[in-house]
Amino acid sequence: MSFRDLRNFTEMMRALGYPRLISMENFRTPNFTLVAEILIWLVKRYEPQMDIPTDVDTESDRIFFIKAVAQFMATKAHIKVNTKRLYQADGYAVKEMLKITSVLYSAMKTKQMALGELIEEDNSKFKFDLSSRVSDLKAARQLASEVTSKGASLYDLLGKEVDLREMRTAAIARPLEINETEKALRAAIKEVLQSVEETKDMLSNVVSDETSLDAKIEKKKQELERNRKRLQTLQSVRPAFMDEYEKIEEDLQKQYETFVEKFRNLCFLESQLDEYHRLEQERFEEAENMMRMMQHVLREEEEERDLTRSSLKDEDSDMDVPEDEGSDSDMDESRPSKPRPTQNGIMAGRRARFIGNMQGGDSDETEDSEIDVDEDDEDDDEGEEEEGKDLEDNSLEGPGSRGARPSKGGMRPPLLEESDNDF
């Protein structure tokens, strides 16, 4: 059953003038009363004088009613319906009833269209509308196909009529012989008696089979009763190993509880150990990062110290004055009386060296002063070498030992506070 069929059926019944309102929900479940009312109404619509039994209380009455309706529709309306589906009284019955309602609905539509055509012909005889005759063309085409098929079947039957006529006339013309009739009747009676004997034998066999089956059933019942009693005795008797089994079961329960407790403790300790390893790893990574930072800082300080040493050596080499035998005026111009420059306060405690003489004098005095200056330069070079060694020793000994050791030419501040050796 489809929703479309149910909708078409309800619309057709409403158009045909069925007095009761049919809902699409009436056929969700079997409703034989409603189906019977609809079938009676449809039959009355076909043949008002038709007498059909309306009693559908018992199963036999329903079957008789469905058969009567199906026979009427087959003989009068040439409509073949499925009695099994009609008896179901659900959506499948709607399909069968739709065959009847569709014929009535088409007849009604044809009549209405014929009346409408007559009215239109009266109003305008010269107006011709092909769209209004489409249904008539379809009906005519269908009737023509039915006439053709029925004519073909009738022609075939009439073709066999020649042979059938001869056989019929021969059978009618043959004289009736009492002996042959008597023989035929005796043969039929004999066959009936044989069938009756066979039926009696079957009935006797059924009785014997029934007695044998009753004996088997009684035997099985007795066996079942014995088995039930044996089962009850087995259930009432306590096995010998039951006490030991219960004791072992109690021990197993205790062992299981102990195992669960130890397993839970083990899981907790493993989680704590994992947490400890994680914290240790984080500390180790932090220490490594700090070591890298300290190494980087010390490397930068070492580079600065190397740069400072190289700058000091460059300045000392620039400040060294070569010996010259020129005049006093040339010496005064080439050797100005300026102190040696220092960087970062390293040479703050040393004596300033002056070349030449601030006052005029003899050449002998000038030569003596130059000799003194040369000796001072040699002493300064030796002092610088000793100071370099002292700086290296101080870097190894620490800032306290460097502050306690004086250098030549005065107290000198430490170059660096930390070194790689301290690390």
The CATH number of whichever domain residue 85 belongs to comes to 1.10.418
pLDDT at residue 93 greater than cutoff 60: yes
Query: Residues of the chain with pLDDT > 70: what percent?
Result: 69
Residue 125 maps to a domain: no
Name the pLDDT band for 415 (thresholds 50, 70, 90).
very low
At 130-174, the pLDDT tens digits run 566 777 888 888 899 899 989 889 988 888 888 888 888 887 777
* pLDDT given at position 338: 43
Least Cα distance to 7 among 32, 25, 33, 20 occurs for 25
Is the pLDDT at 323 greater than 50? The verdict is: no
Q: pLDDT at position 86, please?
A: 84
Which residue has tokens 């009847």? 100
| Percent of the chain predicted with pLDDT > 90 | 22
Q: 174 has which bridge partners?
A: none
Looking up tokens 């111009």 gives: 333
Where is pLDDT greater, at 306 or 13?
Answer: 306
Query: For the segment 196-225, what is each residue's pLDDT rounded down to a tens digit?
Result: 999 988 888 888 888 889 999 999 999 999
Residue 282, pLDDT score: 95
Residue 410 β-bridge partners: 407
Query: Whole-angstrom Cα distance, residue 30 to residue 9?
Result: 17
Q: What is the mean pLDDT of residues 238-250?
A: 87
Domain contains 361: no
Q: Is residue 205 part of a domain?
A: no
pLDDT tens digits, 97-117: 888 888 888 888 887 676 666
3-class secondary structure, 410: strand
Is it the case that residue 42 has pLDDT exceeding 50?
yes
Q: What is the pLDDT of residue 131?
A: 62
Is residue 46 situated within a structural domain?
A: yes
Domain assignment of residue 106, yes or no:
yes
**pLDDT-derived band at 322, boundaries 50, 70, 90:** very low
Indicate whether 278 pLDDT > 50.
yes
- Does residue 373 belong to any structural domain of this protein? no
Where does residue 171 fall: left (phi above 0), alpha (psi -120 to 50 degrees), or beta otherwise?
A: alpha
pLDDT at 194: 93
Parent domain of 41: 3-117
The model's confidence at residue 337, banded by pLDDT at 50, 70 and 90, is: very low
Considering its fold, how many domains does the chain have in total? 1
Contact 85, 92 (CB under 8 A): yes
Query: Does residue 345 form part of some domain?
Result: no
Least confident stretch, 135-139, 343-347, 372-376: 343-347
The average confidence (pLDDT) of the chain is 75
| pLDDT above 50 (res 195) | yes
The per-residue pLDDT for 60 is 86
Amino acid 377: pLDDT: 52
Q: So what's the pLDDT on residue 402? A: 43
Question: What would the mean pLDDT of 371-388 be, rounded to a whole number?
Answer: 51
Query: Is 377 contained in some domain?
Result: no
Residue 340 clears pLDDT 50, i.e. is over it: no
The DSSP annotation for 306-327 comes to HHHHHHHHHHHHHH--------
Cα angle 37, 79, 10 (rounded to 5 degrees) comes to: 45
Neighbours of 353 (CB within 10 A): 17
